[in-house]
Amino acid sequence: MINGIAAVVKSNDTTDVITYSEVRDVGRSQRKELLREQFRGEELLTKIKEARAAALKDLIDRQLIIQAFKKEGFQIPDHFLDQRIQDMIRENFNGDRNTFIKTLQAQNYSLGEFKKWRAKG
C-alpha cells in the first residue's frame, strides 16, 4: 500500500498529519495475527477495519494530547525519549540497535535528528 494521509489533526494554530503507515504500525501492535486465528471471511475484514479505526483514533488522541502539552509550553524529558527509542528498538528491531541506526541512515536521518523529530510529536 502506498503511504498517504490518514488524518489531519488541527488544534488552535497547530496542524499535524497522521499517515497510513503510522496507522498500520499501531495496528500491527494490536495483533492482527490473533484476529486471523479467530475470524474468517467478512467477519475478519470487519474486525481488521475496526482495529484500523481504533488505531487511527488512538493516534488522533495522542496527537491532540501532544498539541495541548506543547501549547502549555511543556517539554518532553530526554530520558523519556531515550526510553521510548529503546522500546521501539526492542519492539520493531528485535532489540538490535545497529539495525535501527542503519535503518535511520538509509532514510537519511541521524539518531539526533530522529530524537528531535520524536520530541516534536
- Verify that 19 and 66 share a domain, yes or no: yes
- Total number of domains constituting the chain: 2
Rounded-to-integer distance, Cα 76 and Cα 68, Å: 13
- Verify that 107 and 81 share a domain, yes or no: yes
Q: How confident is the model at residue 2 (pLDDT cuts 50, 70, 90)?
A: low
- Verify that 81 and 57 share a domain, yes or no: no
- Which pLDDT value is given to residue 43? 92
- Verify that 19 and 69 share a domain, yes or no: yes
Instruction: Please count the helices (runs of H) and the strands (runs of E) in the chain.
Output: 6, 2
Domain that holds residue 88: 75-121
The DSSP call for residue 46 is: H
Rounded-to-integer distance, Cα 89 and Cα 46, Å: 31
- Verify that 50 and 105 share a domain, yes or no: no
- Verify that 8 and 63 share a domain, yes or no: yes
Share of the chain above pLDDT 90, in %: 12
Q: Tens of pLDDT along 75-108?
A: 778 888 888 889 888 888 889 999 988 888 887 8
The DSSP call for residue 1 is: -
